[in-house]
Amino acid sequence: YHRRVHGDLLSLCTMDEPSDGHGLAIPTPHHFAKHSALVARTKSTQDFGKLEEIVVHSAEDAAKLAMTPRLAAYEKTDKADKGARRSAVLDDGASKANNGCASVCYASVFFFICLTAMMHTMNYVHYHAPNQPPLPDIGHDLTPVLRPENLGEYPIIFNAVLVIGLCFVHDRTDLGRALPRFLVVLGSMYLLRTFTISLTTLPVTDNHCRFRRQEIQSYWRNTFWGIVTLGMKNVHCADLCFSGHTIVQTLLHQIAHTFHPRLRAANWLVTFCSLLSFYLIIATRSHYTIDVLIAWYVTLCAWKLVPNYWPWALAPTGPNSVVA
């Protein structure tokens, strides 16, 4: 339709009628009538277009008006959902914090009970060591004898300071996650060690226990000093299978590896100190090689298994942490 109107207008502009001598066509009554009809048709077309625009705008306005209550209700519901989610997140965070504190308390009580049982059992084992020569040991044959006998404790102390410093300086939240897991695994290993050192007592190695065994003046006092110093300053002999020093060193290594895997330099340093400690424990004749090997393997397995049975013990959310 629009093409036909456009063509008619072009025909008006190019009329083949007599001109006035200047090239301009002289309109006739026929052309005036045709022009009037075209103007009327064009006007009606413009009015129809305006009508269409009015109808379209009216339909859009009607749709907007119809959707306004729905949009308002949706926005209201969305705000309510956001508020509920925000409250849920805050409540969940508070709940996790409370659960984390409860987990640390339960782990501490469990560890204290297991530590007390082991230290008291060590008093019994001290006087029931068999009077026999040391057992054959390949580690003892391949390493020279080193003194003093507490050389293996220094790498452990160094690793403990390093790991605690990483938890405080690098990411403090890791300390709250690592502490319950550390206490539960250490307590479990001490509980197992309570049975292994008392059920089967091995002959002492070539250390002070064979040549100048000390006497225990008071069982309870000796137990107290063993609890305070984690077995470093109490009187004890023949508690061999398996090594308590190796348990602690393995746990410190696993904390650094699990909670700070991206700090490669720190992990390599902790690994070196762990291997050095294992070597010194054997070289100073504090334990047999099998004591160190069993302690390392059992502690490593327990570290991996504990998160399945103890809540909030797995390493989760720090930017430098991974699930292990």
Share of the chain above pLDDT 70, in %: 63
DSSP state of 308: G
What span, in angstroms and rounded, lies between the C-alpha atoms of 230 and 156?
Answer: 12
The answer to whether 240 and 291 are in contact (CB under 8 A) is: yes
Element (DSSP H or E) covering residue 28: none
Q: Which residue is it, tokens 């339960």?
A: 106
Q: Which amino acid is at 101?
A: C
CA-wise closest residue to 274 among 241, 301, 290, 251:
251
What span, in angstroms and rounded, lies between the C-alpha atoms of 204 and 322?
Answer: 42
pTM above 0.95, yes or no: no
Dump pLDDT digits (tens) for 177-223: 888 899 999 999 999 999 999 999 999 999 989 888 888 888 899 99
The answer to whether 229 and 244 are in contact (CB under 8 A) is: no
Between 106 and 139, the higher pLDDT residue: 139
pLDDT of residue 8: 47
Decide: residue 8, CB within 10 A, 0-12 exposed, 13-18 middle, 19+ buried: middle
The average confidence (pLDDT) of the chain is 77
What span, in angstroms and rounded, lies between the C-alpha atoms of 320 and 324?
Answer: 13
